[in-house]
Amino acid sequence: MLFTNVLRALPAALLFTGTQATPLGDLESRQTTIDAFIKAQTTISVNGILANIGGGGSKAPGVSAGIVVASPSRTDPDYWYTWTRDAALTYKALVERFISGDTSLRQKIDDYVSAQAYLQTVSNPSGGPDSGGLGEPKFNVDRTAFTGAWGRPQRDGPPLRATALTIYANWLIANGNKTQALNVVWPVIQKDLGYTVRYWNQTGFDLWEEVNGSSFFTLAATQRALAEGAALAKTLGQTCTGCADAAPQVLCFAQSFWTGKYIDSNINVNDGRTGLDANSILSSIHTFDPASKCTDATFQPCSARALANHKAVTDSFRSVYAINKGIAAGKAVAVGRYAEDVYYNGNPWYLATLAAAEQLYDALYQWDKQASITVDSVSLAFFKDLIPSIATGTFAKGSATYTSITSAVKTYADGYVAVVQKYTPSNGGLAEQFDKNSGTPLSAVDLTWSYAAFLTAVERRASIVPPTWGEPANNVAPATCTGTPACNAKTTFNVQATTVYGENVFVTGQLTQLGNWSPDAAKALSAAKYTASNPLWSATIDLPASTVFEYKYIRKNSAGAVTWESDPNRRFTTSAGCGSTATINDTWR
């Protein structure tokens, strides 16, 4: 009966090696096929990452040591940049691999520490080293600031980098290199944690660089970084100001993303989406702690919430991609960013599909360690897709039901790897996306993050897990969310703008406090001091201190028609210090 249940849960009637179909024989032949693919693709993925890192990478010529190029692609799309987020996630994977025994990576990791220390000093459109510049999403590969238009700031980069380096620092300490951890690695971590504490409760762009609001992924990365950063600081005899106080408040806020059925990945923004987004699955695998149980509060991979969310997110792609047509719930499908995606016409991503597999491998590890599986009303639908007769209850390791569940989940997880296998070209190159109709690779070639996602997924499959980040001691949210005191500066906007009766002037811009560029949410200016000789419109608004932002003025007439002033956007940096003041004097253009 168990064997029958496993076969019933198989993701497809065929398995694939490269682009060639192989008939499914039995479970053993299926396993052999996937194992062979993983073995070959692991080598390709490691080499793919190293090729995209400066200081010797074959596809990163002339790039400084330790700088991670997102992709060698320079046109359609141009990814010849280094993203703080991508680099941190890539190096987190490399540090974990190093700790697991690949000692050849030590110099690459030290190069990364040096490169990031330098980038932290580079002033950029998001600000200077002490005024928000750490929230800049990407830099040129020569380590200079990228000054073009972009979705900024992105507040996930600093906590992700802090996590990658904290794992390394803890290894250094455990292996007799506390001096290097303290003098070389900690200063970089400390700056990132300082940024994270200061800005965690400010909105910013999500990991897809499209939505300016509150991102679940950013909050999940933040809570982890602050918790483990506070512990590292204590070990080093240093101070992580605000970390221990902010971490539980971040966790408290994270609970508001749970809808009761799934995680709404972006809130505090009207984006017109359901919120079902691979953002949430990526969050769960990033905050996976091998020492944790199935904690709902931190959305651990095996938690009821995370499993319900896994079903909701993956199911949302079953009807939007032709290559998923006819695949029933509980069987693996190609996974994209979110169903409403229009980038490159909206397609599956290798890294998102691999993340769906990785969460399930993480869950299997956690169930094994806690020696039981609990099925409750929240997670029941997820389990019923795999075992229709399942009922709520707790099933001990060794029981028939426990064995049936773990076998079915393992098969389900392997199915996502098989999807990637099916749409990976024979040379093993992993692009960013694959076509939703044909499965042909699309967008940026040799995406570094795709290769890193493959490595972490198959390592979790092999029960190779990262060190604990202290989740068991940091998984209880306060009963009441208080946030942290806002560090605001009062900014007065004065603009000379001649108007006619019935017209009013507003200011809007990239900050939430200015309406995120929405004319409907723009802030009204007052004409109390307006005269024919001095057509002054004015308003004083609380904005985050030491923050760079872009803005514009608009006119609205009595019928509601909106007129924007001419380009380019205006730019200003708010004054430093909580409660400080600044005045902007402009003339309508």
Please give the positions annotated as active site.
Answer: 206, 209
Name beta bridge partners: 507. 523, 553
Annotated binding site for substrate: 150
On the question of a cis peptide bond just before residue 77, with omega within 30 degrees of 0, the verdict is yes
Sequence-separated (6 or more) residues with CB below 8 Å from residue 367: 294, 302, 373, 397, 402, 405, 406
Sequence-separated (6 or more) residues with CB below 8 Å from residue 574: 489, 491, 543, 544, 545, 546, 547, 549, 580, 582
- For helices 84-99 and 106-119, the axis angle rounded to 10 degrees is 150
Annotated binding site: 150
Instruction: Please tell me whether residue 585 adopts helix, strand or coil conformation.
Output: strand
- On whether the CB atoms of residues 158 and 134 are closer than 8 A, the answer is yes
- For residue 570, what is the DSSP state? E
Whole-angstrom CA distances from 169 to 69, 103, 159 are 24, 15, 15
For Cα atoms 168, 60, 466, give the angle at the middle one, nearest 5 degrees. Answer: 25
- On whether the CB atoms of residues 528 and 547 are closer than 8 A, the answer is no
Sequence-separated (6 or more) residues with CB below 8 Å from residue 39: none
Query: Do the bridges between strand 488-496 and strand 581-587 make them parallel or antiparallel, or are there none, so unpaired?
Result: parallel
Cα–Cα nearest to 363, from 298, 289, 456: 289
- Bin 487: left if φ > 0, else alpha if -120 < ψ < 50, else beta: beta
Distance of alpha carbon 138 from alpha carbon 119, whole angstroms = 10
Distance of alpha carbon 60 from alpha carbon 80, whole angstroms = 9
Instruction: Please tell me whether residue 373 adopts helix, strand or coil conformation.
Output: strand
Distance of alpha carbon 351 from alpha carbon 457, whole angstroms = 9
Cα Rg of the chain (Å, integer): 25
Cα–Cα nearest to 155, from 206, 110, 112: 206
Token representation of residue 335: 């996974």
Distance of alpha carbon 163 from alpha carbon 224, whole angstroms = 8
Instruction: Please tell me whether residue 328 adopts helix, strand or coil conformation.
Output: coil
